[in-house]
Amino acid sequence: MTDSDIEIEITAELVHDLLEDQHPDLAALAVREVAGGWDNHMWRLGDELALRMPRTERAPDLQVKERRWLPVLAPRLPLPVPLPVRVGEPSARFPRPWSIMTWVPGEPLDRSSISRGDHAADTLAGFLRALHVEAPADAPTSSDRGAHPKECTDGFEEFLRAIAPGGTAADVRAVRAVWDDAVAAPEWEGPPVWLHGDLHPANVVVSDGTLSGVVDFGDMFAGDPAWDLAAAWLLLPAGAAARFFEVYARTDEATIRRARGLAALKSLILILMGQNGERGLPGGKPTWGPAGRAALARVLTSG
């Protein structure tokens, strides 16, 4: 049996003991569990730090990627993002490396809402304009996302069958029409640009009714900006996507078509994860279901 096969219970006591062993100057800070997370189990450490403990086999590699590239990207980004502060080494108590990052204050959007739609649209557009610059040759790539929608059709059909978006054949046809339009759109012909890679409501935070931070860059990669531009429907309230694209200003019709189709795909995934959470299945996220259904409704009414 390997370390990756072992399910380790991550408790506040374990976190405290690891800090005592490796970062004793931080061990006196209060430790509080943070709900959510997929690849990492997160703990608040005092008021300004967060400790991220890998819970999946791929999580340590994602943390390495964040530690390598976030300090490069963060200085030009107009919203707070997590920055690496310390590294925890594998040990007998916990066999994987772990990270201490800065804490980005705010409430995750899957547990909150945006009331200042125009401000949020402007903020998201400004953030992505700053992020979406040509990436260097050694920037990371992605094995499971980043392709043209036509390469993702099998996954789309699987998710569409799984979630029954509104319960009627008309709903299914409407979702498929958006997807088919994305599949038919021309490919991205520009250089690969930096992408967050996983912009959805649990990976942004909200304060005062608008976006105030972006978290979880473990899936960052270089590629087609449509994968991030899908956030216009996934994150923003109804009617705000048009303003977002006006402010972002660096796109074309084909990219918007791909982005809208990818927003439909990602909405289906959110709905499915929400259903799994409602059923108590492992890895399910109950708060993702309402966020996914709202996002899908925005996709279908945006035209």
* Res. 6 pLDDT band, cuts 50 70 90: very low
Residue 7's pLDDT is 60
Contact 259, 124 (CB under 8 A): no
Q: What is the pLDDT of residues 120-161, one digit of tens each?
A: 999 999 999 999 999 999 999 987 788 999 999 999 999 998
Contact 182, 258 (CB under 8 A): yes
Average pLDDT over residues 63-88: 96
Query: Looking only at Cα atoms, what is the longest distance across the chain?
Result: 60
**Measuring CA to CA, which residue among 302, 273, 292, 303 is closest to residue 166?**
292
Q: Is the pLDDT of residue 91 over 50?
A: yes
* Res. 20 pLDDT band, cuts 50 70 90: very high
Residue 170's pLDDT is 76
> What would the two tokens of residue 153 be?
């059709």
Global pTM? 0.92
For 208, residues 6+ apart whose C-beta sits below 8 A from its C-beta are 116
Q: What is the pLDDT of residues 26-64, one digit of tens each?
A: 999 999 999 777 788 899 999 999 999 998 888 889 999
Mean pLDDT of the chain, nearest integer: 92
Q: What is the pLDDT of residues 199-232, one digit of tens each?
A: 999 999 999 999 999 999 999 999 999 999 999 9
Q: Are strands 193-195 and 221-223 parallel, antiparallel or unpaired?
A: antiparallel
Distance CA 36, CA 110 (A): 10
**Measuring CA to CA, which residue among 50, 113, 120, 46 is closest to residue 85?**
50
Q: What is the pLDDT of residues 234-264, one digit of tens each?
A: 999 999 999 999 999 999 999 999 999 999 9
Of residues 283 and 280, more confidently modeled = 280
In the chain, pLDDT over 90 holds for what percent of residues?
80
* Res. 186 pLDDT band, cuts 50 70 90: very high
Secondary structure (3-state) at 51: strand
Contact 291, 112 (CB under 8 A): no
Distance CA 234, CA 155 (A): 18
Based on its alpha-carbon atoms, the radius of gyration of the chain, rounded to whole angstroms, reads 19
Helices (H), 111-219: 117-131, 153-163, 169-184
Residue 4's pLDDT is 42
* Res. 165 pLDDT band, cuts 50 70 90: low
Q: For residue 143, give the DSSP letter.
A: S
